[in-house]
Amino acid sequence: MGLFIDVREILAGLIDSIEFDYTLPAPQSFNDISFPSEVQITGAVKNQAGYMTLTAHATVPYVTHCARCTKEISGIFEHTFTRPLATKLEEEDDEYLMITHGEIDLDTPLLEDLILNLDFVYLCKEDCKGLCFKCGQDLNEGDCGCADKKEIDPRLAILAKLLDN
């Protein structure tokens, strides 16, 4: 099972484009990001004077944690995937999707591209204040009252002495 797009009619010159709308199973969790439902994919394969391209737009809900305050956050990641198509290449090129037996297998390259384009850091809001490094209080909910917030990391204390001179 997977997304195979039959492009034989385009290759034969009978039509110039094929549109598709497909749902892929949710990807496995990755880097503290989970995907609670399927990936919705819409797109088209187009032939423009013998140059074939595939464009797919993927939409996938995600759940992760804020990198600063650790609150659970969710959202929808959207990604557009565009690749030229080829029936044969002189040398291997990851830029192209290969047409094999008149079909394109879109699952693996699309999911790989989605994973590669996910953000590394997610925030609950742009100005998230995070957690107090002393007591763990969520600073978005108010000040914790810890007296000396500018405590120096003991590993860097020797450098602070240099700055005092």
Residue 124 clears pLDDT 90, i.e. is over it: yes
Residue 46 clears pLDDT 90, i.e. is over it: yes
Tens of pLDDT, residue by residue over 11-41, are 888 999 999 998 888 888 888 899 999 999 9
What is d(CA 130, CA 138) in angstroms, rounded to the nearest whole number? Answer: 6
Q: Is 131 helix (H, G, I), strand (E, B) or coil?
A: strand
Among 41, 124, 26, smallest CA distance to 75 is for: 124
Residue 115 clears pLDDT 80, i.e. is over it: yes
Specify the pLDDT at position 150. 64
Pairing between β-strand 97-98 and β-strand 72-86 as defined by DSSP bridges: parallel
Average pLDDT over residues 43-52: 90
Among 1, 18, 12, smallest CA distance to 105 is for: 1
Residue 120 clears pLDDT 80, i.e. is over it: yes
The domain spans of the chain are 4-116, 131-165
Strand partners, 55: 44, 82
